[in-house]
Structure 1
């Protein structure tokens, strides 16, 4: 896992904390650590059960109905600071975040997307999934940076600030039916085309339905042979 200032030891943050809000703080502090130290960091974990809406969703006419649809099906609503459409986490869905220091916030965007996409594909293939770039039509959180195999498995986003770039994503491990079932009324309320059959998963594509194995595969693919300095999410990453 190289960064724009050279190869460095990677801070690896494992696990999640007790609440959704504090869990998001872990990733925020991880990014702050990278900006302050110039060392890259990586985290892969299973976020709490939730429906994460993007900024575009929050401005949609049917946003309140979409929130009601999610919450009535047991998915508490949270708002993401980045764009994109709604994403459902079941509690076994894996998220990842790769934070790297940068010297110029106007360059490197495409290269970082390419690096992350390649790493996700490598991780999934190591688990027996025939992963490839792209997504089926009318997928959840549609975007240019996705990975598919018997449906969309992963979507990737990026947030850039002056000193650090955070490339993040979601990987559906096994709950494709449950995710499709809750996203259908949510996307209908938002008036966004959605095909429930487009939701894939690692398990649906022949891989393991074990989130921990997916987490380890992602960590290995993103971090590679770099030195790992592992910390528990319940500890501050800058301690």
Structure 2
């Protein structure tokens, strides 16, 4: 057998394996995913702005624009769910936080109260859905694979499953050793949808838990935790720093980007998509009017 033929036959299976892996990635992730990670310093004070940005981008992706992964942080905010907003003293609890410099908004994607600060990384995958398929479990599992994969340089123990006593509880809480560091939700539009997650990357999980509990204590009035609002308990939350030694939110963001480039063929944008600021302002006002009400 000639050397050239031996080399050809030797690399053939490798090429086929690479093609199979590429095809598997295309089946899990749509082509052309872009990553936009604005700096913390560029984030507007009002927490409704990044939520409105994602709503508008979701519309554009539904109209044919390429899918996008949005990674962002906020200096100090609390997002709450629509059920939270209907608690007897929610307006007073929200106003109290605002007087303390905390931006507060009702989250369109649902769920419950989530404190945000510079150590909490928000990740949203804005993906097309032209056939209007509903694959909730598959979508959530896809997000879990991303969150756990990005944590893999520090821990292989990330698991999905509801954590009792955690804030914003759900079937796809992501935890290490029984303490939650990530929650996942989704928001669907007509031809696109948003898979979104918060990840407590560094700092104290207990401090964030305490803020969520203080909001509920103020907002709940005479209601008791359980059906009306989550029973947020001590020892349920932790950061990836506390759980696995992740050095910073920036380090985790870098790992998220690397994972998406490797697994989904994503590319990093150096400049964000151009969305009209006047339209974003109008949409922000509409979201407040629609969701931030009794």
| TM-score between the two structures when normalised by the length of structure 1 | 0.87
- Compute the displacement of 1:170 (Å): 0.1
Give the Cα–Cα distance (whole angstroms) in 2 for the partners of residues 70 and 134 of structure 1: 30
- Compute the displacement of 1:29 (Å): 3.5
Task: Give me the CA root mean square deviation.
Answer: 2.5
- Correspondent of 1:188 among 213, 217, 223: 217
Residue 267 of structure 2 is aligned to residue 228 of structure 1: yes
Q: Which consecutive residues of structure 2, in runs of 5 or more, have no partner in the other structure?
A: 1-24, 277-294
- Compute the displacement of 1:220 (Å): 3.0
- Correspondent of 2:36 among 13, 19, 40: 13
Q: Which has the higher contact order (CA 8 A, sep 6+)?
A: 1
Give the Cα–Cα distance (whole angstroms) in 2 for the partners of residues 79 and 130 of structure 1: 32
Secondary structure, counterpart of 2:243 in structure 1:
coil
Give the Cα–Cα distance (whole angstroms) in 2 for the partners of residues 152 and 130 of structure 1: 12
Larger radius of gyration, structure 1 or 2? 2
Change (3 A) 1:72 1:23: same
- Correspondent of 2:206 among 171, 174, 177: 177
Residue 202 of structure 2 is aligned to residue 163 of structure 1: no
- Give the count of matched residue pairs: 236
Residue 252 of structure 2 is aligned to residue 214 of structure 1: yes
- Correspondent of 1:118 among 127, 133, 145: 145
Superposed, 1:194-205 pairs within 5 Å as: 194-205=232-243
Change (3 A) 1:211 1:157: same
Give the Cα–Cα distance (whole angstroms) in 2 for the partners of residues 218 and 29 of structure 1: 23
| TM-score between the two structures when normalised by the length of structure 2 | 0.72
Superposed, 1:1-239 pairs within 5 Å as: 2=26, 7-16=30-39, 17-19=42-44, 20=46, 21-68=48-95, 70-71=97-98, 74-128=101-155, 130-150=157-177, 151-175=179-203, 176-189=205-218, 190=220, 191=225, 192=229, 193-223=231-261, 224-233=263-272, 235-236=273-274
Higher helix share: 2
